Amino acid sequence: MTQEASRPADAAGTFELGGDLPVNRLGYGAMQLTGPGVWGAPKDPEEAVRVLRRAVELGVNFIDTADSYGPFVSEQLIHKALHPYPAGLVIATKGGLSRSGPDDWRPLGRPEYLRQQTELSLRHLGVERIDLYQLHRIDPKVPLGDQLGELRLLQQEGKIRHIGISEVTVSQIQEARTIVDIVSMQNLYNLANRDAEDVLDYAEQENLGFIPWFPMATGELARPGGPLDTLAKTYGASPSQLALAWLLRRSPVALPIPGTSSVSHVEENTRAAQITLSDAEFQALSQAV
């Protein structure tokens, strides 16, 4: 088996977060490694461990998680599966959402809370510094300068390498960048939902990483006989694989992080990096929505 076949994520190409932290552009999102409602332990913790190890074997070296996934279940599984971490593996986590039960998410950006959560993430991941720490949501009740100012202090203390933000507008990114260096943003974005198009365009203009979450959504495009279904049959691929290939083709700063709790699905998702859409195919899918 060739390296290309055994490490399909390599085919996605690389992006340097902050100009000094290279990652393969097709990563892995670890939200689904938890129980229902992103709460508690998964039904099969050993399968979760296998998924993480298989993703890394396939060339994935960018894993995105958050303290709120579980809470902390996802981070602890990453530690169990992969620590001591192989050279070059970048683990990004997030803080700023509190949890009180399944499917309950509440912004909490008080500086003391963000510091507490960062310290807990360091402990659960088993690292001295988090490569990419992202403000999971901007808390409207707390001045942005207080939220990002605390992350800047943690960065100065050597506990955070780079800072990112999540679910933001262009104007919020611009404001954030007056407070601290921002290297990435993470917004809902996929082939079927492009409400964050302007955020992606801004990220590309500024050479900032854009991490689209929920990247495999296809909507009506995957209906039988639809454009995604037809093209998928041409490639012998799944509609989800083509949705990922479209994201990789859409912008050189796009870093999709498909998530799954199944080894077979992580293998399928990662092979999407080996699909190169032609200009005509990319335009046809882009215009189909």
pLDDT band at 4 (very low <50, low <70, confident <90, very high): low
Task: Provide the percentage of residues in the chain whose pLDDT is more than 70.
Answer: 99
pLDDT band at 1 (very low <50, low <70, confident <90, very high): very low
Residue 267: per-residue pLDDT: 97
Residue 14: per-residue pLDDT: 98
Exactly one of 28, 69, 189, 202 is catalytic; name it.
Answer: 69
Whole-prediction pTM value? 0.96
pLDDT at 80 over 80: yes
**Across residues 140-164, what is the average pLDDT?**
98
Active site residue 189: no
Residue 226: per-residue pLDDT: 82
| Per-residue pLDDT reduced to its tens digit, 169-218 | 999 999 999 999 999 999 999 998 999 999 999 999 999 999 999 998 87
Residue in 213, 262, 274, 268 with CA at minimum distance from that of residue 240 = 268
Structural domains in the chain, sorted by start: 3-217+251-274 (3.20.20.100)
User: Which of residues 35 and 235 earns the better pLDDT score?
Assistant: 35
pLDDT at 113 over 60: yes
| Per-residue pLDDT reduced to its tens digit, 230-263 | 888 888 999 999 999 999 999 999 999 999 999 9
Whether 273 and 242 have beta carbons less than 8 Å apart is answered as no
